[in-house]
Amino acid sequence: METTIINYSPGNLENLDDISMIPGTLFGIEGTLLLILFLVAMFWSIVWKGIALWKSARNGHKGWYIAILILNTLGILEIIYLIFFNKKKAKKEISENNIPEQKELNI
């Protein structure tokens, strides 16, 4: 088996199909696009995960918090939680019976 060594220099690029073999390029042009898509997907996921984790912790939903923390679904699980299951705790309604009676001041 023969090994062919190709010496690339600025003036020696006869075959542009082999440009991905030039040292310093990461997987060629397609790899750059994949890297950009990966970074966009990562940013998208981190933003949704952060919001959903914050809301689930504030609402005391421990199960949702753990599921969102462990599972990576590109924001799908996080969006589902935020739309359908993010119910704020109901404030305790104060009825007239719970209000302490006010004492009259005799001045």
Q: What is the pLDDT of residues 89-105, one digit of tens each?
A: 544 444 455 655 666 67
What span, in angstroms and rounded, lies between the C-alpha atoms of 16 and 6? Answer: 13
Evaluate whether residue 59 is within a structural domain. yes
User: What pLDDT is stored for residue 60 in this prediction?
Assistant: 94
Of the candidates 39, 42, 71, 66, the residue with the CA atom closest to the CA atom of residue 53: 66
Residue 15 has pLDDT above 90, yes or no: no
- Tally of structural domains, the chain: 1
Cα-atom radius of gyration of the chain, to the nearest Å? 30
Evaluate whether residue 98 is within a structural domain. no
Q: What is the pLDDT of residues 46-83, one digit of tens each?
A: 999 999 999 999 999 999 999 999 999 999 999 999 99
Evaluate whether residue 94 is within a structural domain. no
Evaluate whether residue 36 is within a structural domain. no
Q: Supply the range of the domain harboring residue 56.
A: 42-87
Evaluate whether residue 1 is within a structural domain. no
Query: Residue 12 — pLDDT band, cuts 50, 70, 90?
Result: low
